[in-house]
Amino acid sequence: MILPNTPLYQAKTDAEFRIRMIQHIKSAYKDILGKDVNLLDLPNGLDIVQAKIQQRLYDVSRGEIDLIRHEDRDEQLAA
């Protein structure tokens, strides 16, 4: 796979890439995420935001688009 020659993709470590990705998401998608953008500051913030977006997509599409793994959906329903 060929990656773009940008600072985001030139990270030396996974941790550095994660930090850069979170900053990119915060700046590029703050209007879409609204107050949920602050969840990205949590240790598992990327996972939380991903789950929220997947659930929104599922709800808006009335179940037509289902990106949530069935195991994860079972865990969400149990909570």
Tens of pLDDT, residue by residue over 6-23, are 776 777 888 888 888 898
58 lies in some domain: yes
Residue 37 zone, left/alpha/beta (φ > 0; ψ -120 to 50; rest): alpha
The whole-angstrom separation of Cα 66 and Cα 8 is 29
The per-residue pLDDT for range 30-78, each reduced to its tens digit, is 998 999 999 999 999 999 999 998 888 888 888 888 877 666 555 655 6
21 lies in some domain: yes
What's the domain count of the chain?
1
Which tokens in the block code for residue 31? 């209007």
Residue 50: which domain range?
7-78
Please name the residue that has the structure tokens 């929220």: 52
pTM: 0.64
